[in-house]
A and B are shown apart, each in its own frame.
Chain A
Amino acid sequence: MTTETPVRPVGAPTRVRRRRRPVPDWVLGAAGAVTLLVVWDLAVRTGAVSEDSLPYPAAMLARAGNLLVDREFLTQTGHTLWAWFASLALAGAVAVPLGLLMGYFATLYRPASTVVHAARSIPSTAFLPVAILMFGLGFQMKLALAIYAIFWPILLNAMYGVRDAEPQMLTAGRSMGWNRYRLLTRIVLPSAAPAIATGIRVASSIALIVVLSTELLGATTGIGTVITTYQQAQRPDFVYAGILLTGLLGVVVYYAFTFAERALLPWANAQRGGAR
């Protein structure tokens, strides 16, 4: 290391320098997307896949445009997002403080991790049949399954985040005469924050996928139901337009979280995260 050469954040990719000026990433990415569409088009055109099951990409894109200005579709998107947001908020509000407690108090950590690992081993979908019977096909059922699916990752990340707090920092805090409460709020919480954020980011993707899956498998509102409706109407162009838009929604959510994390927790990149 050099005297005053800035420290490279841990984990930042070290780029291999090349002689030629590289093609920008976004150009390559766009080329990738276009290539997929072309291959897809050819697959349908040559009859490799029947048009009844897979539409032409052009048709799908056109339908995606229609859906984006379709009031019904937007309303259902609202339902999906509301269930997603509510599950995230509720699970986060309970799992984060609980995880902090369980990580901070060694006596709680052991018995609680057994319960958590047992509970998280049950895929939330296994509860779908029971959940439908217990909560019906509406909002509650979606919420229950999504919360079940994301509660554990958030909890575990909060637990691990607390336990990964740097002992040297705690010593530094103690040298300034801080008590347990101050150590918790001033050191443990901020050092766990990146891990918690990772947990919530991961959970946000899981929640969206679970909500959409319950909609596809039975729930009565949301984007998923629009897709099943078009499925029943034998309109694969709309079906795949819907799938494309849900995928894009997921991408948007992912980047929104990544962006928020960078803005709110700028040190997370410099520090080793607690992601698992």
Chain B
Amino acid sequence: MRRVLRPLQWVWLLVVVLLVWELLTRTVTRSLFVPPVSEILRTFGDSWFAATPSTLFLSEEFRTNVLPSIGRIAAGYAIASVAGICGGILLGVWRPAGAFFNPLIRLGMSVPVTALLPLAIVVFGITNSMNVFLIALGCLWPILINAYDGARGIDGTMTLTARSMQLSRRRYFLNVLLPGASPAIVAGMRVSVGTAMVLMVVSELYAATSGLGYYLTQQQRLFRFPQLWSAILLIALIGILANAAFAALERSALRWHHAARGESR
């Protein structure tokens, strides 16, 4: 009984919200733009899945629009992570470099990446690289800033300890700086998951010939609202999965951090 009720504790409100949505759209406000949940779910199945085992039960639409988007997110995010972590730590431990780049980073984070879409098109053309570039640029800032703060926030005693042990630079980076800054870095990477999703959609609204953003625009132009919402639902599911994967990774990789802070979860 307990085992059944415990998950219910977590999900009942979500179920209520969806039921209210269904009822409202079926009765009181038959909005042209917001279809009932049941219709979205039906379209969701029809749009993204197919009865063909050879394509892993994924529809043609899924393969042409969703897979490219996921690929772009993965590539952009990976580039941002590597550049952000290395750059941030470097700027964090080398004070003059940090000061040198500080105004540029502040400005960079504040410029809406969307504004650079035209520049990206000119530089990269209508290619995957263009989307990847925009995603990477948008995700870079939170990771960079957090890695910077993380590296600067490493306890002075730890730094001294490492120095007194005469660790090599490489070992110092790998065994002290990187793990020491990792809670902050992971926090930044987590924020960037959301940013990556935002920019995936935005960068595909124009100048793309595939992808979820492209699909959304197309459905909007054709006034296909159930399809539009089923794409939004898919994006939400991808976001939830990405967040869950992240939380799991964080729980295992940063166990020392949470435990050291005396957190229960």
Contact = CB atoms under 8 A, between A and B. Distances in A.
Interface of A: 11, 13-16, 22-23, 25-26, 28-33, 35-36, 49-50, 53-54, 110-115, 117-118, 120-130, 132-134, 149, 205, 208-209, 212-213, 216-217, 224, 227, 231, 239, 242-244, 246-251, 253-254, 275-276
25 contacts: A13-B153, A14-B155, A22-B95, A25-B99, A26-B99, A29-B102, A32-B99, A53-B119, A110-B9, A111-B10, A114-B10, A114-B11, A114-B14, A118-B236, A122-B235, A122-B236, A122-B239, A125-B205, A128-B205, A128-B216, A205-B109, A208-B110, A209-B110, A212-B115, A216-B112
Nearest to A231: B118
Interface in B217-265: 217, 219-220, 225, 228-229, 231-232, 235-240, 242-243
A102 B238 CA distance: 26
Contacts of B202: 125, 128, 213, 217
A32 B118 contact: no
B36 to A, nearest CB: 15
B118 A53 contact: yes
Contacts of B190: 276
Given A11-B153, A30-B103, A133-B33, 20 more contacts: A23-B99, A33-B104, A54-B119, A111-B10, A111-B12, A114-B10, A121-B240, A123-B194, A123-B197, A125-B205, A126-B201, A126-B231, A205-B109, A208-B112, A212-B112, A213-B202, A217-B205, A250-B107, A250-B109, A275-B187
A123 B235 contact: yes
B42 interface: no
Interface of B: 9-14, 17, 31, 33-34, 95-96, 99-104, 106-119, 122-123, 152-153, 155-156, 159, 187, 190, 194, 197-202, 205, 212-213, 216-217, 219-220, 225, 228-229, 231-232, 235-240, 242-243
Interface of A is mostly: helix
Given A121-B236, A231-B118, A134 B103 contact: no
A213 B110 contact: no
B101 A254 contact: no
Contacts of B216: 126, 128-129
B110 A250 contact: yes
Contacts of B197: 121-123, 126
B232 A130 contact: yes
Given A11-B153, A16-B95, A118-B14, A129 B228 contact: yes
Q: Which 7 A-B pairs have the closest CB atoms?
A: A250-B110, A121-B239, A111-B13, A129-B220, A14-B156, A28-B99, A123-B198
B111 A250 contact: yes
Contacts of A246: 110-112, 115
Nearest to B198: A123
A28 B100 contact: yes
A15 to B, nearest CB: 8
A122 to B, nearest CB: 4
Nearest to A107: B9
